[in-house]
Structure 1
């Protein structure tokens, strides 16, 4: 019987701008390597206090809309008590309360069971950290149940 658990860390360069990075292809490649034909769960986790994981449509403006909405909800000004780093950086530490640092997704027969327009994305509003890690973990068994 194949291993029931596998994990891998992605290194993602997010740069010095707020960004939404599509990780869907990276997730698919990981599953191809560790879970061909198997079903289970993929956990996507960002071990950072200022980033999150979202499942949303990309490429049609939704990623920019998400960043704009976060800017309205969490303005980058001097209202935040957490004050190290770039002015307004305290908002980045509140982000994971709104965009969780993890997502658990179904895997069926070795493939993510996402909706037609859904993508798995890293959301990073912290312009002080230009590199991020994302841990992908597969937990599963045999083929489709």
Structure 2
């Protein structure tokens, strides 16, 4: 299995960050068929496969704001106001995804992208673990 760790700067605002180019570069270097596993080793971030660039990313962040408001209801209450919601978010948007790879390319649908979802404004720098398991 091949594996690498990406450093991703998400900044201090909620973000859905497209990491498809980095995933595609990684699988191209690995070549062949197999599975790409994307994992975020953080308690406050997730990975989503969705359409980006057509306001779906904005819609996702709006939905998360509705479901998980950044207010004082959270018992996990250190950091910025509403920080506890960041720890609940990975139960809705898992910290991992697995994508098939064919001939060195992620087999995504026409409008699909791989994104890092980060609503934790206290942590501007993230890591993403990419692992490629080649078929035998």
- The TM tier, using the shorter chain, reads over 0.9
Mapped pair 1:102 → 2:96: yes
Gaps of 5+ in 1: none
Q: Residue 63 of structure 1 aligns to a residue in which SS?
A: helix
The whole-number CA distance in structure 2 between the counterparts of 1:9 and 1:62 is 27
* C-alpha separation in 1, matches of 2:57 and 2:125: 19
Where do 4+ consecutive residues of structure 1 move more than 3 Å? Answer: none
Aligned residue for 2:105? 111
Determine whether 1:51 maps to 2:52.
Answer: no
- Cα pair 2:83 2:120 within 8 Å, conserved: yes
Is residue 12 of structure 2 the alignment partner of residue 13 of structure 1?
Answer: no
In the TM superposition, 1:30-45 aligns within 5 A as 30-34=26-30, 36=31, 38-45=32-39
Query: How many residue pairs were aligned?
Result: 136
Partners of 1:106 and 1:141 in 2: how far apart?
A: 10
Deviations 1:48-68 (A, max 9, x none): 000000000000000000000
Q: Paired residue for 1:86?
A: 80
Q: Describe the superposition over 1:60-116 as per-residue Cα deviations: whole angstroms up to 9, x where unpaired.
A: 000000000000000000000000000100000000000000001100111100000
TM-score (norm 2): 0.98
Q: TM-score, normalised by structure 1?
A: 0.92
3-state secondary structure, aligned to 1:71: helix
